Structure 1
Amino acid sequence: MDKETNELSQWKLRSVGACIRDGYRLYVGKFRKIFRTTWLAAVVYALFSGITTCLATSLSSFSSHTSLISQYLPLIMVVINTLAILTLMAVGGYLLKKRAGVSMKPFAFPIRYWGGAILVLLMVAFVTMSLILITELPAIVLLAAGMVSQAGAFQGDPTGMPDYMVWTNLVVFTLAGFIQAFILLSTLFPFYYLYGSARIQEKERTQISF
């Protein structure tokens, strides 16, 4: 009860823009503590992301364009990455609540606040995807080079790619995944303030009804 009262005392009514702004400010202000709390989860996510991406690239290069693997590999990767992201968010939210003192409840919104939640989700998704795209640029360059090399190999040309490219891809994809983990975790914080704003409004509605 004391913890809930303390959280309510820190929250206030905020607009959608203010929730996003203050959420990212809170994330930046507490980043050292967040990093110490969630770095292991970020490492696990990064390794998983790097390994699965390298495996997918290898499978696509060794399979023909008409094989079932080539047809369903993109869908499989989307499902795997989605599950990995959801797991990261769930574990990260739990760790932030237990160790960083930030209670994350991004989905506990009454129906009347779903409009604001969807708007925050869209705006945060735009920011997140833009940042992830920037971190993915080196990986995209390597992937494009590999695809060009594979296209030449299918026509009988030498690949022209050094043997250590597999390990280079793994390192680049893993580093990109590590950075992306913290970008993804930052999306929780605007919802933290949106949830707080909804709680304050519900409290005021209850007081007015009495």
Structure 2
Amino acid sequence: MKKEDNCLLYKSRSYSACVKAGYNLFTDNFRKLFSSTWILVLIVSLLKSAIEASGFSLIATIRHIEPVHMIVIYTILVLLEIVSSFILFGIIFYLFQQHKQTGTYSRCSLKGAYKGIVHFSIRSSKLFVWTILLYTPIVIATCFFAIRMIPLQFSDPAMHKYLILSILSFILFLIFYLPFVFLMVKYMIEDKSHSWSVITKGYKDGISHWGFSFAVIFLSWLITAIAVLIINMPELVIHQANIISQNGVLEGDPSGLPNYFGILVFIVSSIITFMAQYAGIAFLFPIYYMYGSIETQKIEKVDFENNIEQ
């Protein structure tokens, strides 16, 4: 019974308790999660690896002004990877929805939960569009400052000005954009809500719990970053050798790598990306409990104020 209570979504928790509960839910139910998602994770991993492989060919195409068929292939792969990611996120948040309603984490199949998965996949695509719209200003500002700083020396006063502006932009980004992480989860979990309504009505809740959200997100991100870095070590070494070889070939030097190296890179990249995908998915679990804790604290605050008035 105590373990079931610890798994409940709507329960007031500290930031460390959210992280612990999230990773406990992930590890305790990993077999169910794996059996529900491994096909989509494999597809996404293969597509990501193919995109990386075609990226090198795309560079060569541009450098040598060859036919644009690689650009077409690259674009198709990217679109397929995006669509597959939408479906994967749909499955993950469908499982979260089932856990919210029943208190248990159960396995799902594409056939048995087709409507629910499609529903959450569509919401994932809408969330993707909103994310692009929300993050576009900070991306534009970052690119603007980067372009301005490229021709400048570090001792140049203008360089110092743009560095300060970049730091201020990053601080503003943390202050104003961090609550959107809570809103994104809220939009996905509350599956009958509208995106604009969630943003306009929920942003105040996100701001009022800014410190709590930052602690959960930062700690979860740190754990995820360390895990992904460890997982990606072999791939980083192989890719570094591949990049050096590709640069040499573009400059006219013969490649010193064996003929099967490209296939080896693709296989290793696919395996490592497959593993890293689950490290990234694990990041969502503490954020899921962060949402539940904030909603619970909001309800408890309203109840407390009502009791005082009475």
TM exceeds 0.5? yes
Do the aligned residues in 2 keep the contact of 1:149 with 1:161 (CA within 8 Å)? Answer: yes
5+ residue gaps, structure 2, are: 69-74, 107-119, 121-181, 187-201
The equivalences for 1:157-176 within 5 A come to: 157-176=253-272
3-state DSSP of counterpart to 1:107: helix
CA distance in 1, matches of 2:243, 2:9: 52
Question: Equivalent residue for 2:173?
Answer: none
By how many angstroms is 1:115 displaced?
A: 3.0
1:118 corresponds to: 214
1:184 equivalent to 2:280? Answer yes
RMSD: 3.5
Letter in 2 for 1:201: Q
Which position in structure 1 is the counterpart of 2:47?
48
The separation in 2 between residues aligned to 1:14 and 1:85, in whole angstroms, is: 33
Q: In 2, Cα distance between the equivalents of 1:47 and 1:32?
A: 21
Q: When the two structures are aligned, how many residues end up with a matched partner?
A: 195
1:15-164 paired onto structure 2 within 5 Å: 15-61=14-60, 63-64=62-63, 87=86, 90-97=89-96, 101=104, 107-108=185-186, 110-111=205-206, 112-164=208-260
Measured after TM superposition, the shift of residue 119 of structure 1 is 2.6
Q: CA separation of 1:57/1:127 partners in 2, compared to 1, >3 Å: closer, same or farther?
A: farther
Residues 1:120 and 1:189: Cα distance change in structure 2 (over 3 Å) = same
Aligned to 1:208: 304
CA drift of 1:16 comes to 0.8
> Structure 1 8/141 Cα, relative in aligned 2: closer, same or farther at 3 Å?
closer
Name the CA shift for 1:95/1:44 in 2 (closer, same or farther; >3 Å): farther
Amino acid at match of 1:176: I
Query: Please, which runs of 5 or more residues in structure 1 have no aligned partner?
Result: 1-5, 70-75
Rg larger for: 2
Task: After superposing the two structures, state which structure 1 stretch, 40-49 or 54-63, moved more.
Answer: 54-63
Task: Choose 34-43 or 143-152, whichever is displaced more.
Answer: 143-152
How far does residue 25 in structure 1 lie from its aligned partner after superposition? Answer: 1.4
Q: Which structure exhibits the higher relative contact order, with contacts defined as CA atoms closer than 8 Å and separated by 6 or more residues?
A: 1
TM, length-normalised to structure 2 = 0.53
Shift, 1:157, TM fit? 3.3
Contact 1:37 1:99 in 2 (8 A): no
Q: Deviations over 1:41-86 (max 9, x none)?
A: 2112111111111111232345439xxx9xxxxxx9xx98x95897
Distance 1:34 1:121 in 2: 22
Q: Report if aligned partners of 1:16, 1:194 keep a CA contact under 8 Å in 2.
A: yes
2:273 is matched by which residue type in structure 1?
G
SS in 2 for 1:64: helix
Relative to the length of structure 1, the TM-score reads: 0.75
Instruction: Give % identity.
Output: 26
Which of residues 283, 290, 293 in structure 2 aligns to 1:194? 290
CA distance in 1, matches of 2:90, 2:275: 17
Compared CA separation, residues 174 and 10, structure 1 to 2 (3 A): closer
Distance 2:11 2:27 in 1: 20
User: How far apart in 1 are the matches of 2:256 and 2:98?
Assistant: 49
Does the 8 Å contact 1:8/1:200 carry over to 2? Answer: no
SS at 2:209's partner residue? helix
Letter in 1 for 2:242: G
| SS at 1:161 equivalent | coil
Q: CA deviation at 1:118?
A: 2.7
